[in-house]
Amino acid sequence: MAQAIRETIEQYVELMTTGPAPKLAALYAPDAVVEDPIGSEPRRGAAIEELYAALDVMEQRKAELHTARVNGTHAAFWFTLVTEVNGHRMTLSAIDVMEFDDEGRIVSMRAYWDPAELQFEPI
């Protein structure tokens, strides 16, 4: 199980680079709940795919997985996503916490990052 979860996390971060949004959404169980960023209104169903569709308009996306911890059906990992948007380079670095079901699908995701700390620099 741990190995399958680890591979899903690697795939998740890879898909943040490549998209498309439906492939990211497909990693979730149908009844999954997403809180991104932590403390925001929880998203379910189509609202989860919308979160990733926002990525698809960004250019030069490059996501990197720094570290991941997996225990049972629980996981936490740190990644950084760099994209280009409106002539600026945007850097988002978050710690995501996930829980998985017995089939290895994500049932919950909470993303720890502060929108106030998004970095923008002119390209």
In sequence order, what DSSP letters do the residues of the chain get, joined into one string?
-HHHHHHHHHHHHHHHHH--HHHHHTTEEEEEEEESSTTSPPEETHHHHHHHHTGGG-EEEEEEEEEEEEETTEEEEEEEEEEEETTEEEEEEEEEEEEE-TTS-EEEEEEE--GGG-EEEE-
25 or 92: CB nearest its own copies: 92
Cβ distance to its own copies smaller for residue 82 or 95 = 95
Binding site for its own copies (CB under 8 A): 2, 37-39, 66-67, 69-78, 93-95, 97, 112-114
Using the minimum distance from each CB to its own copies, give the nearer residue, 91 or 112.
Answer: 112
The question of whether 36 is a catalytic residue gets the answer yes
From the list 28, 31, 36, 52, the catalytic residue is 36
Could you list the active site residues? 12, 36
